[in-house]
A = this chain, B = another copy of it.
Amino acid sequence: MGTEALARLAEERVDHRFKGLPPDADGLTVGELAAQRRNLFTGGFATPVLALSAERLEHNLRLMETYADRHGLAFAPHGKTSMAPQLFHRQIEHGAWGITLATPHQVWVARAFGIRRIFLANELVDPAALRRLAAELAADPAFRFVCYVDSVRGVELMDAALEGAGGRPVDVVVELGAGEGARTGVRTEAECAAVADAVAATDTLRLVGVAGYEGEIPRADPERVRAWLRRLVALAVDLDKAGRFARAEEVVVSAGGSAWFDAVADVFAEIPELSLPVLRLLRSGAYVSHDDGHYRELTPFNRVPAEGALEPAFRLWAQVVSRPSPDQAFVNAGKRDAAYDLHLPFAQVVRRDGVERPATGIEVTRLSDQHAWLSTGPGADVEVGDWIGLGLSHPCTSFDKWPLIPVAEADGTVVDYIRTFF
């Protein structure tokens, strides 16, 4: 089922739904365009166009596969980052246990492409979504699904929506909040026990573990992150001792965004033997493209360089359309094309007449909806018509601006197109 749906992506027509593609490719299928192996710079692509590096993408997929293996972690990369079923399948081919997601809509996307194991790292209390979920669980015995609970009321709403739906119970994990003032998640161990009691009182839910997100720990540092992870592990131990996982086949213990997976690996290695096998589940998602800003600064590989390094795989190409003064230039990419929530884009290279050079003296100072404002220093050589290669910060808000993303090899040959669903 997944394979057929992926194959149908290659049969989609190149048309007005997709930005950046060569105007003369209109009407081809995406597969036909890919087979032409056009060059990103000479093949008629229009700016702005976001490109993924084929080599860097593959490098990142391999690196996190190796990392999870080395540390005995199961891996459910967060699919909200890319919302690209082709990448979900490549992540699974690279050893991932399944895919983490954030909303029911994202679950339906993954299911449409045959993803069998889904960890919904969020509470889910919508009755319509729960009924559809129950139907999917009933229809497909191979579908494994786990989501968060963090309140007695939430458990009651889930139970009410699922009552009479039949089929298997929905697997849930108690979400432990990352401290006072953090995001979702139960604040105290006593409340966790009450939520576990509420789950046990239903026939529609089954408690299978604990989870949380250390990325929202207030004033996070290695010590605070490790302390919270140990609380999470202790919660799993306590709930296990109290027989709370009696109906489960394994205990899920999950944490791990893209900033602290070294701490997760360390602390999860200390998980003692429980009454059932333990699934130590890491959920980092941003690694797949990595970035040139936020995650370049925060990646745990900065602390453990011997374990490798992720490579930023995105480059946004935009064209200089205006050069109204010696200290200003404007390219035709803006908020519709580039992430702008954590950093502005970074001017990296300039291409003119097939020659690429560093973007010396060029800085992005602001984004309008459809323009980037460039400040150009005295040494900057920028002309109308030049292509500027921009690095981006925050994969999640980069992928979501591009329904179809060319994947280019180092020489510019476009070998594939990644479809996203946001």
Chain A interface residues toward B at CB < 8 A? 15-17, 19-20, 22-24, 26, 44-48, 80, 102-105, 108-109, 111-112, 122-126, 128-129, 131-132, 150-151, 153-154, 157, 177, 180-187, 319, 321-325, 328, 330, 332, 335-336, 340-341, 368-371, 373, 383-385, 396-397, 400-401, 403, 421-422
Contacts and interface: CB of A to CB of B under 8 A. Distances in A.
Contacts of A177: 324
A104 B46 contact: yes
B154 A322 contact: yes
A8 to B, nearest CB: 11
A395 to B, nearest CB: 10
Given A22-B128, A370-B80, A396-B369, A325 B123 contact: no
Nearest to A136: B23
A105 B153 contact: no
Most chain B CB within 10 A, of A111, A124, A177, A336, is at A336
Contact of A128 (B24, B180, B181, B403): B24
A24 B383 CA distance: 54
Nearest to A5: B16
Copies in the complex: 2
B370 A102 contact: yes
Contacts of A17: 421
Contact of A323 (B105, B129, B151): B151
A88 B323 CA distance: 31
Contacts of A20: 105
Contacts of A335: 341, 396-397
Contacts of A324: 150-151, 177, 182, 184-187
Given A16-B112, A23-B132, A125-B319, A183 B151 contact: no
A372 to B, nearest CB: 11
A46 B321 contact: no
A15 B5 CA distance: 13
B150 A105 contact: no
Contacts of A368: 183
Given A16-B109, A16-B111, A80-B370, 18 more contacts: A16-B112, A19-B103, A19-B105, A23-B108, A44-B128, A45-B128, A46-B104, A48-B103, A103-B370, A123-B384, A151-B322, A153-B383, A154-B321, A183-B330, A336-B400, A336-B422, A340-B341, A369-B397
A56 to B, nearest CB: 22
Nearest to A49: B105
Contacts of A321: 122-125, 154, 184
Contacts of A109: 16
Contacts of A373: 183
Contacts of A153: 323, 383-385
Contacts of A150: 322, 324
A45 B105 CA distance: 11
B371 A183 contact: yes
B122 A384 contact: no
B23 A322 contact: no
Given A17-B421, A108-B16, A47 B184 contact: no
Nearest to A337: B103
A13 to B, nearest CB: 11
A207 B230 CA distance: 70
A137 to B, nearest CB: 14
Contact of A330 (B108, B184, B336): B184
A332 B157 contact: no
B132 A24 contact: yes
Nearest to A129: B46
Contacts of A108: 16, 23, 26
Contacts of A183: 322, 330, 368, 371, 373
A141 B138 CA distance: 58
